[in-house]
Structure 1
Amino acid sequence: MTSMAHDNRSIVITGGCGFIGCNLADRIAAGGGAVTVLDNHSRSGARENAQWLKSRHGDRVAIVAGDVRDPIPVIEVVREAKAVLHLAAQVAVTSSLDSPLDDFEINARGTLNVLEAIRLHNPSAPVLFASTNKVYGRLIGDDEIVRVEQRYQPADPALAAGISEATPLDLYSPYGCSKGAADQYVHDYARVYGLRTAVLRMSCIYGPRQFGNEDQGWIAHFMLSALRGAPLTIYGDGCQVRDALYVGDAVDAWLAVLDRIATAQGQIFNLGGGPSNAISLLELIALISQTSNHPVEPCFADWRPGDQPWYVTDTSALSAATGWQPKTPLAEGLRALQGWLTTRFMQEHGREVLA
């Protein structure tokens, strides 16, 4: 990171024991940087990721147990931070439907705690926030999509390049509301208080260190179900389309924005695989079956609130600001994910390793 190369202070990653957070921490530490991870270890795999980071990087990664809902540990870690990458969150629509108050406290109030800690104690530190494509809501009505073989596509050809940041927000589901509120707070703190913040609205990141929970990390969940020969439930008809982005490419994007924060501050960027990495759920199942040599036969359940029949990211704003482009084709990324899941969950002869 050229603009911050001579600053030896630690980069704070909230939620740094999660999937994307630990990949970011690993990359920064591998490059010689210091990282402080703030994580409450509530998600499956978080403690394992913490041990993995420490085993690889030792004292270059400090693991602090804490929750963004509590302002005290947040203040303590950001006070001397070089930058803050804020990924701590409640990440599942399903969980937000069950516990909307918890969802709000973690996503909205937790983000406000981070922003206030920076504003009051370290206002020069950049803050990058992990937002979501769910802030755009369902996007397309049933009368605005057409089915072509095993995938939906928008009837409007103007959307062929994907969804841009100019798309109006349409918060849908408690999760969409809490992340949307946080997204706008982060954006507004740049305008009102002059903080060096940027928002990344992410879409379907996948890759190693993703543990395949059904409610989040669905590509890993699909792959792990195939490897286990376990049943797989699809919500909807499987023709819904997403663009998938390999986690290494996502890390590149985060660090590119951080490196260019002087010009990127106050901006919002969509981050995903783009049209070249768009795939329907049914197409992905077929590709996973081929990649893993384990056929998958899904069953189907009702659509969930806020489920998008089609979402593909227009990443042109991010590319223009940073020069970033996704590099990893979906088939290549799936092979890397399969390799990690096989190593992590399966012993020889296919016997599963207990977590």
Structure 2
Amino acid sequence: MSDNDPRQHAPSLIGKAAPVVITGGSGFIGSNLADSLLGSEEEVVILDNLSRPGVHQNLEWLKEKHGARVHPLLADVRDFSAIEPAFTDAKAVFHLAGQTAVTTSMAEPFLDFDVNARGTLNVLEAARRSRHHAPVIFASTNKVYGALDDLKLIELEDRYVPAARDLYRHGIGEDRALDFCTPYGCSKGAADQYALDYGKSFGVPTAVLRMSCVYGPRQFGNEDQGWVAHFLISALKNEPITIYGNGKQVRDVLHVSDAVAAYRALLRSIDSVSGQAFNLGGGPANAVSLRRVLGEIARLTRRGCAVERAGWRPGDQAYFVADTRALQLRLGWKPTIGWRDGLRDLAAWLHDYRGLGAALGDRERISA
């Protein structure tokens, strides 16, 4: 093993302060979470296989900013023997690594299962065997609720809204029945349930966050995942954006700094919330259709967005807005950044760090 091989760094933590392990720690949410923890003087193991384009830049940024407290471990969650040493002295685990695209799951269901289901089982088992019985916070998805085809929706000019008043006011709660669809929904759903069961069967402190659409700085969005960033990056590059469906589908988007706050709050309260799943999203105040986001991007960039149309994709939800009242009640958490301000913050980061678009003038940076 060479001196530059990142696999050597995680075992070197033995005998030092117990680290926090973040699987997928070089990814979008993972790197923002790592930055926040490192800013609180934590030692952080970044466990990542760097397979997603661009994420190596996030790792380099973390190392440059935080130095020796960043401990990279280049490994794949599918390889138990490779990842287990990182968990030996861990004080906590955030499991964010995963295959994230429905389209990829349809094309490669075995890959999707191995990464999301088997990989999660590997992480849970490694945490169970750790010296400190490390708690595990798992990043799940709203796709565990299925396509939501039974929702009665009203079609307006630019968006769908639910016919039920309570659903319109609050969103979809955790009491919604699970209904896995697409291989991605099945693999993440299985992982979701494994995480909760490891608390029941083995006493591992676990909790699950079923996320809506998170966006913000350090995101390298593409057509299949990270659609808010993908739309903005495409517009800044003057490239066409493909809309699947009619663009009236609604999501409650959440700025990554609010997501990081939720993850950290959940860990702080793990003793009281272990074994529970919570919805995490921007809620009704940040519920926007694809069309509305495109309109705001056009305003920000001062140019129209070239849009191409395609049919609906398997498992697409016409409407999903998370009811986050449980998180607010149990943890005192709530979204703080409105979607327009958040989109402006992402545009500023894309200009400052990737050279895309023009400067937006005076602004305050939003930080996790």
Correspondence 1:220 to 2:229: yes
Task: Flag the 1:349–1:14 CA change in 2: closer, same or farther, 3 A.
Answer: closer
Equivalent in the alignment of 2:33: 24
Moved over 2 A (4+): 120-124, 343-350
Letter in 2 for 1:117: A
Give me the whole-angstrom Cα distance separating, in 2, the residues matched to 1:274 and 1:122: 38
What TM-score do the two structures reach when normalised by structure 2? 0.91
Deviation at 1:70, TM superposition (A): 0.3
Give me the whole-angstrom Cα distance separating, in 1, the residues matched to 2:155 and 2:17: 53
Matched ranges for 1:195-234 at <5 A: 195-234=204-243
Deviation at 1:347, TM superposition (A): 6.3
Letter in 2 for 1:234: I
Equivalent in the alignment of 1:155: 163
Equivalent in the alignment of 2:106: 97
Equivalent in the alignment of 2:177: 168
Matched ranges for 1:316-331 at <5 A: 316-331=325-340
Letter in 2 for 1:76: P
Q: Is the 8 A contact 2:121 2:191 kept in 1?
A: yes
Correspondence 1:136 to 2:145: yes
* Count of matched residue pairs: 343
Name the SS for the 1:233 alignment partner.
Answer: strand
Letter in 1 for 2:326: A
Equivalent in the alignment of 2:244: 235
What TM-score do the two structures reach when normalised by structure 1? 0.94
Deviation at 1:79, TM superposition (A): 1.0
Residue-by-residue CA offset, 1:158-194 (whole Å, 9 max, x unaligned): 3121010110011111100000000000011111111
Unaligned runs of 5+ residues in structure 1 are 1-6, 351-355
Correspondence 1:37 to 2:46: yes
Task: Flag the 1:349–1:240 CA change in 2: closer, same or farther, 3 A.
Answer: closer
Give me the whole-angstrom Cα distance separating, in 1, the residues matched to 2:209 and 2:102: 18
Letter in 1 for 2:183: P
Name the SS for the 1:131 alignment partner.
Answer: strand
Give me the whole-angstrom Cα distance separating, in 2, the residues matched to 1:234 and 1:35: 38
Q: Matched residues, percent identical?
A: 52
Name the SS for the 1:287 alignment partner.
Answer: helix
Unaligned runs of 5+ residues in structure 2 are 1-15, 360-368
Identify the range of structure 1 (175-184 vs 66-75) with the bigger mean alpha-carbon deviation. Answer: 66-75
Q: Is the 8 A contact 1:186 1:197 kept in 2?
A: yes
* CA RMSD, Structure 1 to Structure 2 (Å): 1.5
Name the SS for the 2:129 alignment partner.
Answer: helix
Give me the whole-angstrom Cα distance separating, in 2, the residues matched to 1:344 and 1:104: 34
Name the SS for the 2:160 alignment partner.
Answer: strand
Equivalent in the alignment of 2:80: 71
Give me the whole-angstrom Cα distance separating, in 1, the residues matched to 2:277 and 2:221: 28
Give me the whole-angstrom Cα distance separating, in 2, the residues matched to 1:230 and 1:171: 34
Residue-by-residue CA offset, 1:3-45 (whole Å, 9 max, x unaligned): xxxx941100000000000000001001111100100000011
Equivalent in the alignment of 1:9: 18
Name the SS for the 1:256 alignment partner.
Answer: helix
Residue-by-residue CA offset, 1:197-220 (whole Å, 9 max, x unaligned): 000000000000001211111000
Name the SS for the 1:13 alignment partner.
Answer: strand
